[in-house]
């Protein structure tokens, strides 16, 4: 097995902390992503997808495909090795791929073509003939009954309540109730999912894979192939974007390892853009109903928040859209409920941001509607309902920064100049709208380890098996280790992306920086103490030692024993311009102020939040996957039919942070920010469009037909 070191290129000092050590290689093209990796004797694979959503495979004709140029084999379910089934999750689907003849969704792999080149494999895949039996019309979301989720994908209580909601409704002076909808959306990372699997003569498995969870991939493959963990190695120094699409273990990773075992040659699978729409999850369409009740002075007396979304029939994913409703605003009576409808479609998955990203669109739009009914400023309404403790559970907050974010955001945005009357602000032919929304994301962690060494000449190296998903984790690691050890942060070398290194957090749930950062802080502190005991570098050299090394593990279960409500917060202010005749909407300006614990690397944190705001703008105005319910397939599985924001779509963006060093969340004081920047943006834009036009926006994305 080869060793793949990550680059060692120190960056110049920066007033905002170290610049990204991975930056030069990424900018020059020297960085190697999974699809770039080749090994001798490698075969390229192409999937043959099912063209129906429901039924069985009756027969597969591979005769033409095996005669095509460059083809070495065409594998079907009959050729697959016997694998150990594992519970779902960690699998992103309920059954192992190509294990039986049942078709569970359109796009499901039914055969695998192995050829010398990717182009030859794709061509031959089109020659494979598949006959189907027992086909049926897919069950549409509208026709399926509501079900209480009951699967491993339900990570939170599906029903929660406190107080008497009906009594709260009766005590109110004003009650608003509305339905809200969000669209099916697909993550479209620059790098499609890819896996290269290599078996050696000893029966060890080496996998290069573009994944958000190295350790999860490692343990899953070891379990499925009945291997001791030390016989499996997974490498992923760089992930070319994920957004949740690479968080689970999807079929291509399993098939690459299985096919390589069958043909005794390395096998690489790189999904096409169209296959990313069916084989790596999506954010499901969601229907929500929010009821808010308040007294005339704006004090909430009741909140009811229900959500429903479609999921796969088998082991369906559950979107936690109502979660943050329990901690955001003071209210004596709150009721939340999540339901699913099991239908014939690919399984959804967590997508930036699951839960809060969808749920806060509905809740924050409803808060705007309540403010309008009360004749109250939307910022003041939110501040007036600031809780002293978490309303749903009564737990104290570790820290709470929402009011500070709202006030600072209002100041930076110039909110005091807002005219409350809809359609009252214009610039020439454009209607101008200003909107606000709160953002919040819970702070969770994962068991993480780090190893730090210092050479006798003062060089420092940090090793941890984090996968660099594009957020700048190496820079954050440098920013933690350098100050503890008294060295310039940009001189710290970071090795990552290999399961031979100490295990680290997955890049999901906004947990990487706080988890890995805590492990690095603990390891660096331990190394500093050992170095001081040795008499510093001079003592190290005098003792004839070439290096000192320390390793530490941060365990969130130990650190978070105290029962607290641990969340990050933000306030988003958006300005939109709406063409008065054409209904075209542009986000011309956005201010985001966030309280997310200690900011380890200001330059990368700011970049993340700008990217999150662009992401939220896409959710509000552009992104929508349309499902053909007659065929059970998504239309326009490409970037010509699925719109994402480009630079010209994003106006001026102002991002800042309030002080918030939260050691009760993590040893390093950080909270998660990866998803926080995308939360609240869609609601702020929708509220701004409503202010500009006088028409309430309750459906995403906001389309021209909503305004004409």
Task: Render 191-240 in DSSP notation, one character per residue.
Answer: SPPEEEEEE-TTS-EEEEE--S-HHHHHHHHHHHTT--GGGEEEE-SB-S
Per residue in 631-647, pLDDT tens? 999 999 999 999 999 99
Any residues with CB less than 8 A from the CB of 270 and at least 6 apart, and which?
Answer: 34, 35, 44, 118, 192, 193, 194
Whether residue 488 lies inside any domain: the answer is yes
Average pLDDT, the chain: 95
609 & 581 share domain: yes
CATH number for the domain harbouring residue 82: 3.90.1170.50
Residue 30 has pLDDT above 50, yes or no: yes
233 & 87 share domain: yes
Reading phi first (left if > 0) and then psi (alpha if -120 to 50, else beta), residue 524 is in alpha
Whether residue 95 lies inside any domain: the answer is yes
d(CA 348, CA 340): 11
Q: Classify strands 460-463 and 493-495 as parallel, antiparallel or unpaired.
A: parallel
Q: Classify strands 159-162 and 71-75 as parallel, antiparallel or unpaired.
A: unpaired
C-alpha separations of 81 from 102, 224, 551 in Å: 18, 10, 39
d(CA 225, CA 222): 5
Whether residue 148 lies inside any domain: the answer is no
d(CA 511, CA 521): 15
CB 351 within 8 A of CB 187: yes
Cα angle 696, 698, 704; round to 5: 75
435 & 375 share domain: yes
323 & 401 share domain: yes
Mean of pLDDT values over 390-401 = 98
Residue 428, number of CB atoms within 10 A of its CB: 7
Mean of pLDDT values over 311-321 = 90
Mean of pLDDT values over 478-489 = 97
98 & 208 share domain: yes
CB 48 within 8 A of CB 112: yes
What 8-state DSSP symbol labels residue 386? Answer: -
Name which of 11-25, 262-276, 426-440 the model is least confident about. Answer: 11-25
d(CA 584, CA 704): 6
Last residue of a domain, one of 559, 581, 605: 559
DSSP, collapsed to helix, strand or coil, labels residue 189 as coil
Q: What is the pLDDT of residue 13?
A: 52
Residue 565 has pLDDT above 70, yes or no: yes
Residue 87 has pLDDT above 90, yes or no: no
Instruction: Give which of 438, 377, 429, 436 is closest to 690, Cα–Cα.
Output: 436
Q: What is the pLDDT of residue 93?
A: 80
Percent of the chain with pLDDT over 90: 93
CB 44 within 8 A of CB 268: yes
Q: What is the pLDDT of residue 15?
A: 59
Q: How confident is the model at residue 5 (pLDDT cuts 50, 70, 90)?
A: very low
392 & 488 share domain: no
602-621 vs 681-693: helix axis angle to the nearest 10?
50
Last residue of a domain, one of 523, 541, 559: 559
DSSP, collapsed to helix, strand or coil, labels residue 332 as coil
Q: Classify strands 43-49 and 109-115 as parallel, antiparallel or unpaired.
A: antiparallel
Instruction: Give which of 644, 646, 633, 700 is closest to 274, Cα–Cα.
Output: 633
Domain that residue 417 falls in: 159-185+283-443+563-707
Longest dimension (CA), the chain: 80
Instruction: Give which of 327, 348, 255, 229 is closest to 625, Cα–Cα.
Output: 348
d(CA 247, CA 189): 12
What 8-state DSSP symbol labels residue 285? Answer: P
Residue 690 has pLDDT above 60, yes or no: yes
Mean of pLDDT values over 367-390 = 98
C-alpha separations of 657 from 216, 514, 602, 603, 616 in Å: 32, 16, 9, 12, 18
d(CA 404, CA 571): 9
417 & 500 share domain: no
Q: What is the pLDDT of residue 152?
A: 75
411 & 294 share domain: yes
Q: What is the pLDDT of residue 553?
A: 98
Whether residue 142 lies inside any domain: the answer is no
pTM for the full predicted model: 0.96
Structure-block tokens of residue 666: 């993590």
575 & 509 share domain: no
Domain total in the chain = 3
CB 549 within 8 A of CB 527: yes
How far separated are the first and last CA of the chain, in Å rounded? 62
306 & 402 share domain: yes
Instruction: Give which of 368, 37, 418, 421 is closest to 195, Cα–Cα.
Output: 37
Whether residue 572 lies inside any domain: the answer is yes
CB 481 within 8 A of CB 492: yes
DSSP, collapsed to helix, strand or coil, labels residue 41 as coil
Cα 388 off chain centre by: 30
Annotation marks residue 675 as catalytic: yes
CATH number for the domain harbouring residue 470: 3.30.365.10
Whether residue 11 lies inside any domain: the answer is no
Kindly report the three-state secondary structure assignment for every residue of 450-495. EEEEEECCCCEEEECCCCECCCCHHHHHHHHHHHHHCCCHHHCEEE
426 & 465 share domain: no
Residue 311 has pLDDT above 90, yes or no: yes
What residue has token string 């899953």?
Answer: 220
Whether residue 7 lies inside any domain: the answer is no
Whether residue 4 lies inside any domain: the answer is no
Residue 38, number of CB atoms within 10 A of its CB: 13
Residue 695 has pLDDT above 60, yes or no: yes
Phi, psi of 607 (to 5 degrees): -60, -40
The partner residues of 336 in beta bridges, in order of sequence, read 160, 305
Instruction: Give which of 669, 660, 678 is closest to 614, Cα–Cα.
Output: 678
Cis peptide before 134 (omega within 30 of 0): no
Per residue in 100-124, pLDDT tens? 999 999 999 999 999 999 999 999 9
d(CA 278, CA 285): 15
107 & 217 share domain: yes
Mean of pLDDT values over 270-274 = 97
Q: How confident is the model at residue 14 (pLDDT cuts 50, 70, 90)?
A: low
Q: What is the pLDDT of residue 687?
A: 98
Cα 336 off chain centre by: 23
Instruction: Give which of 457, 436, 150, 197 is closest to 315, Cα–Cα.
Output: 150
What 8-state DSSP symbol labels residue 516? Answer: H
Q: How confident is the model at residue 78 (pLDDT cuts 50, 70, 90)?
A: very high
Q: What is the pLDDT of residue 355?
A: 92
Of 562, 675, 699, 705, which residue is the catalytic one? 675
Q: What is the pLDDT of residue 1?
A: 33
Last residue of a domain, one of 521, 544, 559: 559
Instruction: Give which of 5, 294, 316 is closest to 152, Cα–Cα.
Output: 316
Per residue in 342-352, pLDDT tens? 999 999 999 99
Structure-block tokens of residue 121: 């494999």
């Amino acid at each position: 097995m080869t060793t793949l070191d990550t680059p060692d290129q120190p960056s110049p000092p920066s007033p905002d902390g170290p610049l990204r050590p991975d930056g030069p290689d990424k900018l020059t093209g020297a960085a190697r992503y999974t699809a770039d990796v080749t090994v001798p004797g490698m075969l390229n694979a192409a999937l043959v997808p099912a063209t129906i959503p429901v039924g069985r495979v009756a027969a597969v004709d591979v005769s033409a495909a095996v005669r095509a140029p460059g083809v070495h084999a065409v594998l079907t379910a009959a050729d697959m090795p016997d694998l150990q089934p594992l519970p779902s999750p960690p699998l992103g689907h309920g059954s192992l791929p190509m294990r039986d003849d049942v078709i569970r969704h359109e796009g499901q792999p039914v055969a695998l073509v192995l050829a010398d080149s990717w182009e030859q494999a794709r061509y031959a895949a089109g020659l494979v003939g598949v006959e189907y039996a027992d086909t049926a019309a897919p069950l549409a979301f509208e026709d399926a009954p509501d079900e209480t989720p009951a699967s491993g994908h339900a990570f939170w209580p599906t029903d929660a309540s406190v107080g008497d909601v009906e009594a709260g409704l009766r005590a109110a002076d004003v009650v608003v109730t509305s339905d809200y909808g969000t669209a099916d959306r697909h993550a479209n990372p620059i790098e499609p999912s890819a896996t290269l699997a290599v078996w050696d003569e000893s029966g060890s498995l080496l996998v290069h894979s573009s994944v958000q969870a190295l350790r999860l991939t490692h343990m899953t493959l070891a379990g499925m192939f009945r291997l001791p963990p030390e016989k499996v190695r997974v490498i992923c120094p760089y992930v070319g974007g994920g957004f949740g699409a690479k968080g689970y273990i999807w079929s291509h990773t399993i098939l690459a390892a299985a096919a390589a075992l069958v043909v005794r040659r390395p096998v690489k699978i790189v999904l096409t853009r169209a296959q990313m729409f069916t084989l790596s999850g999506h954010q499901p369409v969601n229907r929500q109903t929010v009821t808010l009740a308040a007294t005339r002075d704006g004090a909430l007396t009741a909140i009811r928040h229900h959500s429903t979304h479609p999921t796969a029939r088998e082991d369906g994913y559950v979107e936690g859209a109502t979660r943050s409703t329990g901690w955001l605003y003071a209210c004596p009576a709150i009721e939340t409920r999540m339901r699913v409808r099991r239908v014939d479609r690919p399984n959804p998955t967590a997508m930036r941001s699951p839960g809060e990203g969808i749920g806060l669109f509905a809740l924050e739009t409803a808060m705007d509607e309540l403010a309008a009914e009360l004749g109250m400023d939307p910022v003041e309404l939110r501040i007036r309902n600031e809780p002293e403790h978490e309303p749903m559970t009564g737990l104290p907050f570790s820290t709470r920064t929402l009011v500070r974010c709202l006030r600072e955001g209002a100041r930076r945005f110039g909110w005091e100049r807002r005219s409350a009357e809809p359609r009252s602000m214009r610039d020439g032919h454009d209607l101008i709208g200003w909107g606000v929304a709160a953002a919040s994301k819970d702070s969770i962690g994962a068991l993480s380890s780090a190893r730090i060494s210092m050479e006798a000449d003062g060089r420092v190296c940090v090793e941890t098996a984090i996968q660099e998903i594009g957020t700048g984790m190496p820079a954050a690691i440098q920013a933690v280790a350098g100050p503890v050890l008294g060295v310039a942060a940009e001189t710290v070398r970071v090795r990552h992306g290999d399961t031979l290194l100490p295990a680290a957090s997955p890049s999901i749930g906004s947990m990487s920086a706080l988890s890995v950062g805590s492990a690095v802080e603990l390891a660096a502190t331990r190394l500093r103490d050992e170095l001081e005991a040795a008499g510093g570098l001079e003592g190290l050299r005098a003792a004839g030692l070439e290096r000192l090394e320390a390793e530490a593990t941060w365990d969130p279960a130990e650190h978070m024993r105290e029962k607290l409500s641990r969340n990050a917060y933000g306030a988003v202010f958006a300005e939109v311009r709406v063409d008065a005749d054409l209904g075209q909407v542009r986000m011309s300006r956005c201010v985001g102020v966030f309280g997310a614990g200690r900011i380890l690397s200001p330059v990368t944190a700011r970049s993340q939040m700008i990217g999150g705001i662009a992401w939220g703008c896409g959710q509000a105005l552009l992104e929508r996957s349309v499902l053909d319910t007659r065929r059970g397939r998504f239309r326009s599985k490409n970037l010509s039919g699925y719109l994402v924001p480009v630079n010209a779509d994003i106006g001026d963006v102002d991002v800042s942070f309030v002080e918030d060093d939260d050691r009760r969340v993590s040893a390093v004081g950080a909270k998660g920010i990866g998803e926080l920047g995308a939360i609240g943006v869609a609601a702020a834009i929708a509220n701004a469009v409503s202010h500009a036009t006088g028409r309430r926006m309750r459906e995403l994305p906001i389309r021209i037909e909503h305004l004409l």
